[in-house]
Chains A and B, each alone.
Chain A
């Protein structure tokens, strides 16, 4: 039954291509919140490609399982459409409507073709409905995955923008960490600190965690690894801004900070760093006189 059904549906699609396209597009456009020329042109083009490809696939395929290889080209077309929708900021419903808007026009043609045979008509509509549901759900799935990737990319960019490494003095860098640290963010931040160490030729990096409310094992491990890596490169790190609660957490977690210099304030860390690099601060005479 499946093979006859496929062949019949393929014929209906091929024979009524233009009509189907018109009614389909009308339905599609009516569902969109906003429209523009370029978007419309793209939809028209993709719809025009979809119909013959659907007919072709139906004729050639042994199965109505859209995950099988024969349906690969059709899936590819739907992927392109979904990904484009994500880029243009459409909603998942607007994206899925690409498929669902084709159902009604197709049913109309099925009714016209099989009007006399109610059993065949019922079966055909049922099978067509299932097929289109599968295709529609597929477009939503692709949409969601594409959307996730956009979000991940944006997060990455935000990360890089929001963790600046500051040069406090010749040879002394400071990395003020603010907010909660998660594993991914910590890694990115630490990598950029090491890059900056090479770029500026700084021998000391002060990692200030005053603005970090909690530190978990993973973050502590990343911190330690960064300090170890900096040492291998020829630089030293000082951790400053450790609050009592964090000190407690660190001890509870059993994290070993024996080899690391720690200071409770950034200012203290800076003084140590200055001493290490051989610099010193002199207050000018006029200031001394005023005091």
Chain B
């Protein structure tokens, strides 16, 4: 069964979403991420969506929920690389992804997570 790979870099988990996910795959990712946060004792999660050209409400909620669960497990989440067209559409849709911090790219995202753990 296909899964989205999760990379570990120290206490940081990096997920790069590169495929158009169907709902089941998104839910699997959510489960995998929360399991890994516990298993690897991660304190930061970086979700890279620079390759996604569509983010609908389901995926949006998945990301919000993941960040919320991560927070409960004492890990911060940063969402990076949202494309302009996706951002405009999400705003129009009314989804504001509260509780999720954002950064332009992976590098900035990592800096953000580093700063919050100093």
With A234-B80, A234-B82 known to touch, is A229 a contact of B105 (CB < 8 Å)?
no
Asked if residues B104 and A233 are in contact (CB atoms below 8 Å), the reply is yes
Query: What is the interface size of chain B, counting residues whose CB is below 8 A from a CB of the partner?
Result: 20
Asked if A203 is an interface residue, CB under 8 A from chain B, the answer is yes
Q: List residues of chain A with CB within 8 A of the CB of B109.
A: 234
Asked if residues A195 and B91 are in contact (CB atoms below 8 Å), the reply is no
Asked if residues B108 and A203 are in contact (CB atoms below 8 Å), the reply is yes
With A234-B80, A234-B82 known to touch, is A229 a contact of B87 (CB < 8 Å)?
yes
With A201-B104, A235-B104 known to touch, is A195 a contact of B84 (CB < 8 Å)?
yes
Asked if residues A228 and B91 are in contact (CB atoms below 8 Å), the reply is yes
Asked if residues B84 and A191 are in contact (CB atoms below 8 Å), the reply is yes
Where chain B touches its partner, the secondary structure class is mixed
Asked if B64 is an interface residue, CB under 8 A from chain A, the answer is no
Asked if A17 is an interface residue, CB under 8 A from chain B, the answer is no
Asked if residues A233 and B84 are in contact (CB atoms below 8 Å), the reply is yes
Asked if A140 is an interface residue, CB under 8 A from chain B, the answer is no
Q: List residues of chain A with CB within 8 A of the CB of B103.
A: 234
User: B13-59: which residues lie under 8 A (CB-CB) from chain A?
Assistant: none
State the CA gap A270–B56 with chains docked (Å).
35
Q: List residues of chain B with CB within 8 A of the CB of A291.
A: none
Asked if residues A198 and B92 are in contact (CB atoms below 8 Å), the reply is no
Sort chain A's interface into a size bin.
Answer: 10 to 19
Asked if residues A232 and B87 are in contact (CB atoms below 8 Å), the reply is yes
A-B contact count (CB 8 A): 53
Asked if A230 is an interface residue, CB under 8 A from chain B, the answer is yes
Where chain A touches its partner, the secondary structure class is helix
Asked if residues A225 and B108 are in contact (CB atoms below 8 Å), the reply is no
Asked if B65 is an interface residue, CB under 8 A from chain A, the answer is no
Q: List residues of chain A with CB within 8 A of the CB of B86.
A: 232
With A225-B88, A225-B92 known to touch, is A232 a contact of B104 (CB < 8 Å)?
no
With A198-B84, A228-B96 known to touch, is A233 a contact of B102 (CB < 8 Å)?
yes
Asked if B110 is an interface residue, CB under 8 A from chain A, the answer is no
Shortest Cβ gap from B1 to chain A (Å): 31
Task: Give B80's nearest chain A residue, CB to CB.
Answer: A234
State the CA gap A191–B89 with chains docked (Å).
11
Asked if A13 is an interface residue, CB under 8 A from chain B, the answer is no
